[in-house]
Structure 1
């Protein structure tokens, strides 16, 4: 194996910027980020152009690339358990119907990934635009790189903090600057996932979590532990009553960039 093939990079596609880092063991050497004007959901095309430029400046052929994608470009849905489903294709079709019930008929194709759960358990489905993924693969291949994985940030963050969350009932909130995603588990089972356009200010998060807690209290008397991860709140951690903060391990670099924080959550 050549030394070049061992190089690993982590790219983060944020709602208004793209960042790139190089993994060195368990550490990340931050190579920089480039901002762009947020043009809404379709901004992913600009994000990929920006990523291509960053890769051209920093990455060498033969390296591996992990891409983390903001909740801004992702959609989420709870897929109920059904005894009538007997194959992976049927499960994908059922998940597609769940998305259409929630979001309406799609105007573009989506790629769905479902969480692995035991029989009888509901699943979390994550959707990314198929065009985004195809153009990303083409871009990475064109640079001579290997695409190691594509991860919605909700899943990256949850996997990073999973072992620190209560095993029973909890609300896990990932609050990016323009969008928050909320995961709810009851007795070790997923019961809800919601994505909401929201600021990550203390006032906005207090209101958001308060509404969600009231909604959950109306469906169950079991108390919820509330966990909050806000990657852009670097200099001042959120102060939200009754919430357990989840932050990444102390970083000794001088980088103050939300995208850098998000890149460090990658295993």
Structure 2
């Protein structure tokens, strides 16, 4: 005997694609059983000015064609739509509102007045440590929420790709200093993690030869980073390159991270939809 639950709808908004995975759920005597019902990828023309209007339009069209009855959605945003900054700890800040205001000030210094319209999220670390902050255009998020409301789909969460990948596999990253990298077409987010805490992060534009040049990119980031480290290991999230040989390096130890997906998804797993199948 089993009881059907609301479907899950996993959505990945990339720079030039919208990917959707619909997951059916049933409550059984053994617990909740999930299975992939549908996978869909819709390409669109990326906005030349780094805008998001085409992403929202494509999402709206995709939801209108997908069976979304009683679905609950989670959205993962490409790093293309997200800005990041390290926010130094301050003992003068007494609550979350003050911390967010200070983070917005940091983003304004880095990115100018455009940061004032952003929604900012702090990814909490240890007390007294610098915090990783992310910023997304506020109008973009309002438009995304409106699309789901119009489709009568409950939107449970919106999360940056970087954090989705890190949360999925951080247990495989050792407690000592290490670099963590997330690749997506045209860009590489590269950060230093010390004792489980983010210490630095940069988004870098890369070309088709990015993997071959990864050791060079690491050399440069080590030089540019203001954090003193001897870290020589890098953990790479790039599911679509799982079968591609890694570059050889005398200095760097490069490890591929395999996404931790649910066992019931194994038969339907597709590297292109990895983020949506966690």
TM score, norm. by length of structure 1: 0.87
1:203 corresponds to 2:215: no
Deviation at 1:165, TM superposition (A): 0.4
Deviation at 1:235, TM superposition (A): 5.0
CA distance in 1, matches of 2:194, 2:124: 17
SS of the equivalent of 1:59 reads coil
Partner of 1:175: 183
1:110 corresponds to 2:118: yes
CA 1:212–1:78 in 2, change beyond 3 Å: closer, same or farther? same
1:19 corresponds to 2:15: no
CA 1:40–1:232 in 2, change beyond 3 Å: closer, same or farther? farther
Partner of 1:232: 240
Partner of 1:261: 274
CA distance in 2, matches of 1:67, 1:35: 17
Of stretches 240-249 and 46-55 in structure 1, the one that deviates more from structure 2 is: 240-249
Match of 2:59 among 51, 59, 72: 51
Deviation at 1:126, TM superposition (A): 0.7
How large is the Cα RMSD of the aligned pairs? 2.4
Which one has more relative contact order, counting CA pairs under 8 Å at least 6 apart?
1
Deviation at 1:93, TM superposition (A): 0.9
CA distance in 2, matches of 1:192, 1:256: 28
CA 1:179–1:19 in 2, change beyond 3 Å: closer, same or farther? same
Deviation at 1:29, TM superposition (A): 4.0
SS of the equivalent of 2:114 reads coil
- 5+ residue gaps, structure 1, are none
Deviation at 1:121, TM superposition (A): 1.2
- 5+ residue gaps, structure 2, are 25-32
TM score, norm. by length of structure 2: 0.84
Partner of 1:132: 140
CA 1:187–1:256 in 2, change beyond 3 Å: closer, same or farther? closer
- Contact 1:14 1:70 survives alignment (8 Å): yes
CA 1:30–1:213 in 2, change beyond 3 Å: closer, same or farther? farther
CA distance in 1, matches of 2:260, 2:126: 32
Bigger strand fraction: 2
SS of the equivalent of 2:139 reads helix
Partner of 1:155: 163
Of stretches 126-135 and 23-32 in structure 1, the one that deviates more from structure 2 is: 23-32
Per-residue CA deviations over 1:129-157 (Å, capped at 9, x if unaligned) read: 10111011111011111001101000000
Of stretches 200-209 and 221-230 in structure 1, the one that deviates more from structure 2 is: 200-209
